[in-house]
Amino acid sequence: MYDVVVIGGGPAGYVAAIKASQLGLNTACVEFASDEKGNQKYGGTCLNVGCIPSKSLLDSSHKYYEAQKDFASHGIDLKDLSVNIPSMMKRKDDVVNKLTTGITGLFKANGVEAISGRGRVINENLVEVSNNGDKTSLETKFIILATGSNPIEIPIAKWSENIVDSTGALNFESVPERLGIIGAGVIGLELGSVWSRLGAEVTVIEAMDDFLPIVDKQISKECHREFKKQGLDIHLGSKLTSAKDNGKDVEISYESKGEEHKASFDKLIVAVGRKPNTADISDESFPIELDELGRVQVDDFCKTNYENIYAVGDIVRGPMLAHKGSEEGVMVAERIAGKKARMNYELVPNVIYTHPEVAWVGKTQQELEDHGVEFKIGSFPFAASGRALAAADSVGSVKVLADKKDDTILGVHVFGPSAADIVQQAVIAMEFGSSAEDIGLTVFSHPTVSEAFHEAALAANNSAIHIGNKRK
Ligand code: NAI
């Protein structure tokens, strides 16, 4: 009998398994993904077809873009610059392999039993594992479901040779001349950036009228302006009505302001969101409660409708983010081990890995306005940051929102160089209940782009040094 069986080995599941084992629980992790040689592939979407391969291509394509567009301004002249897509893809695959085999090593080092196959809950204490027609049963005291999510396929644009999801878009063999993307969300913008930097003409079709509505309005306006400048042709308020892959290219129609438009692309990426993998997670005789979006219904501690069954990561409420899933995995393992762990869902950072990056934590200005919270704003542009200027990377700004009454930081929004790392400093500060004044009183290294956060926090109290703050 196991103490814990985890179903799914992505960032939520494998982290939960390692933590549970570290806490002295006899733990197994069931995963069906395997490579051509039959070796198990842990890491889920994040490591295999998500965060890691996309960041690998984002970094490679950014280097190429910089070499092409920015090196000359630094006095570096390059001749005969070219891009080798097969080499770029091989490097990406090597990074992925290194990390996925790393998890197998971590399981061994931490005493987690790796079990190959598809797991399914039969009852509170039984998980059935199917592997190439063989079925085995695992008896266990606790079960953690972590089966992740998959891209949504829309009926009018079914996957084909040239209509692909995010996984397909990470494996193009050459740069498409004309690339269409449905959805200006996180995936659409990240993959659009990769292929645009490598030379594709990128058109993005987005149904909503607003650009990046989850992002603070002022920041999303800055992003929209910059991405258009970088060459992304973004059509807002445009709904896909048909897509036909005729083998050579993809013909699409979309409706915008009541008018029908047509376009044709070599490849079309459909990135309209992801759906939780909850079909067939349990036997029909043992229903696990789902919500209206097909996600497993859980409480604040990720417990399902059964006392000893938990669910974490993309299959439960909240943002579909690897780090959110991993922290849920840690919380659940600790609670199973009898600890009182809880997770602070208010402070989950978000990042979009375009260049510059977009990152934020806490409330947006519009959320504060909607909730009638009185707040102060401190903004600081990277155009006034010495380090950003030295690096020729000075687009964007930092925006700090603080409570008008007690100065507590309520939200930090960054569009600019190293935005993800700057926001992480804000997450730490906010975890400790920091005020804008606390950040203002903290010594920041000079010259760093982080100083823009320092200045934005000072600006929230009208005391920034490197922008005008005339006494009233
Ligand atoms: P998303 O929800 O971020 O964006 C999808 C977009 O498609 C929306 O703006 C939506 O309005 C639009 N759309 C939907 N149907 C449409 C249609 N028929 N025509 C035109 N537009 C349409 O979803 P996305 O980008 O697929 O990402 C999925 C999930 O993966 C997200 O929850 C995201 O958080 C996560 N993710 C996170 C990353 C990160 O943290 N950097 C990277 C990649 C994914």
In the chain the domains, ranked by start, together with CATH numbers, are 2-150+275-346 (3.50.50.60), 163-272 (3.50.50.60), 356-459 (3.30.390.30)
Using CA positions, which residue lies closest to atom 34 of ligand 1? 320
Using CA positions, which residue lies closest to atom 24 of ligand 1? 273
Task: Kindly tell me if the per-residue pLDDT of 141 is higher than 80.
Answer: yes
Closest to 93 in 3D by CA, of 36, 142, 53: 53
325 CB neighbour count, 10 Å cutoff: 30
Active-site residue identified among 74, 224, 235, 446: 446
Burial of 458 (0-12, 13-18, 19+ CB in 10 A): buried
176 contacts 85 by C-beta, under 8 angstroms: no
Residue 273 token pair: 């969101």
Task: Give me the residues paired with residue 412 across strands.
Answer: 361, 400
For 80, phi then psi, to 5°, come to 55, 45
Residue 67 token pair: 């070499």
**Mean pLDDT, rounded, of the chain:** 97
Identify residue 342 by its one-letter amino acid code: R
Question: Does the annotation count 446 as an active-site position?
Answer: yes
380 contacts 398 by C-beta, under 8 angstroms: yes
CA 430, 361, 52, 44: dihedral to nearest 10 degrees?
A: 90
User: Confidence class of residue 472 from pLDDT cuts 50, 70 and 90?
Assistant: low
Task: Kindly tell me if the per-residue pLDDT of 471 is higher than 70.
Answer: no
Q: What is the mean pLDDT of residues 275-280?
A: 96
Q: What is the mean pLDDT of residues 220-249?
A: 97
Radius of gyration of the chain (CA): 24
Any residues with Cβ below 6 Å from ligand 1, and which?
154, 182-188, 190, 205-208, 239-240, 271-274, 319-321, 351-353
User: How are strands ordered across the β-sheet holding 259-265?
Assistant: 238-245, 250-256, 259-265
Query: Which ligand 1 atom is nearest residue 189's CA?
Result: 25
Residue 181 token pair: 């993307």
Distance (angstroms) between ligand 1 centre and the Cα of 59 equals: 21
Query: 359-398: per-residue pLDDT in tens?
Result: 999 999 999 999 999 999 999 999 999 999 999 999 999 9
Q: What is the mean pLDDT of residues 93-121?
A: 96
Q: What does the pLDDT read at residue 40?
A: 85
Task: Kindly tell me if the per-residue pLDDT of 102 is higher than 70.
Answer: yes
For residues 293 and 316, give the distance between their C-alpha atoms in angstroms, rounded to a whole number: 10
Q: What is the mean pLDDT of residues 250-260?
A: 97
Question: Mutation test of ligand 1: which of 272, 320, 326 has the most ligand atoms closer than 8 Å to its C-beta?
Answer: 272
For residues 70 and 390, give the distance between their C-alpha atoms in angstroms, rounded to a whole number: 12
CA 271, 421, 13, 194: dihedral to nearest 10 degrees?
A: 30
CA 42, distance to chain mean position in Å, is 18
Query: Which ligand 1 atom is nearest residue 353's CA?
Result: 41
Using CA positions, which residue lies closest to atom 18 of ligand 1? 240
Using CA positions, which residue lies closest to atom 5 of ligand 1? 272
Question: Mutation test of ligand 1: which of 186, 255, 260 has the most ligand atoms closer than 8 Å to its C-beta?
Answer: 186
Distance (angstroms) between ligand 1 centre and the Cα of 273 equals: 4
Residue 192 token pair: 């659009």
Query: 77-92: per-residue pLDDT in tens?
Result: 999 999 999 999 999 9
Looking at per-residue confidence, does 255 or 36 come out higher?
Answer: 255
Q: What percentage of residues in the chain have a pLDDT greater than 70?
A: 99
Q: What does the pLDDT read at residue 468?
A: 81
Cα dihedral sign, 423-427-433-439: negative
172 contacts 161 by C-beta, under 8 angstroms: no
Q: What does the pLDDT read at residue 443?
A: 98
Identify residue 345 by its one-letter amino acid code: Y
Residue 431 token pair: 């975890």
Helix (H, G, I), strand (E, B) or coil at 305: coil
Q: What does the pLDDT read at residue 35?
A: 84
Q: What sections of 371-449 are H helices per DSSP?
A: 386-390, 419-431, 436-440
Query: 308-353: per-residue pLDDT in tens?
Result: 999 999 999 999 999 999 999 999 999 999 999 999 999 999 999 9
User: Confidence class of residue 37 from pLDDT cuts 50, 70 and 90?
Assistant: confident
Instruction: Please give the angle made by the CA atoms of 48, 51 and 57, to the nearest 5 degrees.
Output: 90
Task: Kindly tell me if the per-residue pLDDT of 121 is higher than 90.
Answer: yes
